[in-house]
Amino acid sequence: MPNKRIQMNRVKEVLRCYAAGYGTKSISNMLGIARNTVKKYLRKAEQLPQTIGELVALDDSRLNELITGEPRKEKVSERRLELESLLPEYSRRLKKKRVTKKKLFEEYQRDHPDGYGRTRFNNLLATYMAVSRPVAHLEHKAGDKMYVDFAGDKLSIVDTETGELSPVDVFVSILPCSQLTYVEAVASQKKEDFIRCCQNALLFYGGAPAVIVPDNLKAAVKRPSRYEAELNEDFAAFAEHYGCVVIPARVRKPRDKALVESAVRLVYKNIYPSVEDMHPTSLAALNAAIRTALESHNNAPMNGGHRQSRRAQYEEIEREFMRPLPATLFELRQRKQCTVQKNGYIYLERHYYSVPYIHIGKKVNVMYDSNTVDIYSGYEKVASHTRSYREYGYTTVPEHLASNCRIATEWSTEAFIRQAREIDESVADYICSVIEKKQHPEQAYKSCSGILSFAKRVGRQRLINACRLAASFGMFNYMAINDIIRNGQDTLPPEDTDDAQNTRLPEHGNIRGKHYFK
């Protein structure tokens, strides 16, 4: 029995849907027309010199003449015209929350009891929406994008002590070219968990795409915008570490991430059932079960005429276009604002880090992780330190301190002895004795600094002579050297030294003679 000829407005609907990118099976389901009939009219249309757009623009009689070869008078039923007048309003209302096709049909049936049935109503509404809002077909390039999102339905882990179920989020990513999918259960959708999941996805793929397309969740997008979204700083740093660009999906435009939405539906179908029956007691156990089910999902042949699996497609056409991963993993850096103290240090996690003294009193931004501490004034990095975990210790870069503070921080027993030995060994011995006479070495640092300063003030030789003379007196302090040099005793000839000790010393309360100290 030959196919029954359809009306010309129905032929136009077939042509419009075909031009919008729908296949013959989809057109058949939407319009309620036999698939062979759809193929027949499309075949005839392809044989005509006119384009599909030109055919749709023709009046019904002319189109009938071209398609069937005979003139035919078209007649449209009243209820069809009546429904078509309502379709624009129904289409607009369907965009609102809690408005469904079922509610619209019930309203249509109540107002038009002699109208179409539910199936015909849904087909005509779907056809109108497909023609009025066509969807562009996108060709995805290998290694170009990675779509990421969280599944709406959560999984659960079982508390071994109470038996209660704790819900956990499920992260899903997909490479649109090969459709290789990654799934991971995670405690929350917070920034730390989201970035770690994205990093694990890149490790799973073994490479990085050029673009990461997230939804507008807070962990990825700080402030959504129709034109230029403001990214979360940490997520932007993560993308920069792996050489990726972040292009968030448009707000309330689910078609921008239709592939990941489709991947989520497949995850519900292929992965959820196998892991929910296992009743895992930890995230590690849940993710181990997910990984097993995920391997089966990625290695199974794809539907829709694809003979290859997602994994095979990735290995064949996409892996070579993925960017190599850096040698080091991204580590999320903490951020904190600190005030530079009067001593030129900031206090961070029970440790002090130096900052150039010109920033004393200013607020600086600190970015740190387990290895490094970077300090910024505005956008300028003013200091960088290796992270130290010594509680209440100081990490110092000498160049950061003012000159008067720098000298004090450079004082040490070894430094004074080394400086004295550069002058003469007798000076070094004297400095050692000065330090040994004090209960604590730091008590002698100012004296040592003053004694060594005489090398510049009066010359090395006079200091050497003064140290030898003071040592012979058993006097080990700054005042002894000062008095000897001030009174010129260091300039006396060596042979006069004994006489000088007995007769030429001035009367002074601080000079008692070397025998006093024995």
Residue pLDDT, tens place only, 346-390: 999 888 899 998 888 899 999 888 778 999 998 889 999 988 888
Q: What percent of the chain has pLDDT over 90?
A: 14
State the pTM of this model.
0.49
Average pLDDT over residues 180-207: 90
Q: Say what the pLDDT of residue 467 is.
A: 93
- The single residue listed with the structure tokens 């330190």 is 385
Q: Among 59-63, 200-204, 427-431, 455-459, whose mean pLDDT is lowest?
A: 59-63
Q: C-alpha distances in angstroms, 304 versus 301, 308, 309, 358?
A: 10, 11, 12, 67
Residues 146/201, Cβ–Cβ less than 8 Å: yes
Q: In a 10 Å sphere around its CB, with 0-12 CB exposed, 13-18 middle and 19+ buried, how is residue 140 labelled?
A: middle
Amino acid at 101: K
| Mean of per-residue pLDDT scores for the chain | 80
φ/ψ (deg, to 5) at 230: -95, 120
Angle formed by the axes of helices 35-47 and 8-19, nearest 10°: 80
Q: What percent of the chain has pLDDT over 70?
A: 82
So what's the pLDDT on residue 280? 85
Q: Choose the weakest-confidence range: 84-93, 435-444, 469-478.
A: 435-444
| Integer Cα distance of 111 and 368 in angstroms | 67
Helix (H) or strand (E) holding 225: none
Tokens linked to 270? 């292929």
In terms of pLDDT, which residue wins out, 144 or 75?
144
Residue of 406, 412, 411 whose CA lies nearest to 344: 406
What pLDDT is recorded for position 152?
83
pLDDT score of 164: 83
Report residue 204's pLDDT band, with 50, 70 and 90 as the boundaries: very high
Determine contact, residues 462/449, Cβ cutoff 8 Å.
no
pLDDT at residue 408 above 80?
no
Tell me, what's the pLDDT at 384? 92
Per-residue model confidence (pLDDT) at position 339:
92
Q: Does 283 have pLDDT greater than 90?
A: no
CB 459 within 8 A of CB 424: no
Residue 2: pLDDT over 50: no
Mean pLDDT of 277-297: 88
Residue 1 has pLDDT above 50, yes or no: no
As to burial, measured by CB atoms within 10 angstroms (0-12 exposed, 13-18 middle, 19+ buried), residue 186 is: buried
Strands 145-150, 211-213: pairing is parallel
User: What pLDDT score does 200 carry?
Assistant: 93
Helix (H) or strand (E) holding 387: none
Number of Cα atoms under 13 Å in the Cβ half of residue 111: 9
SS (H, E, C) 50-116: CCHHHHHHCCHHHHHHHHHCCCCCCCCCHHHHHHHHHHHHHHHHCCCCCCCHHHHHHHHHHHCCCCC
Residue 181: Cβ within 10 Å count:
26
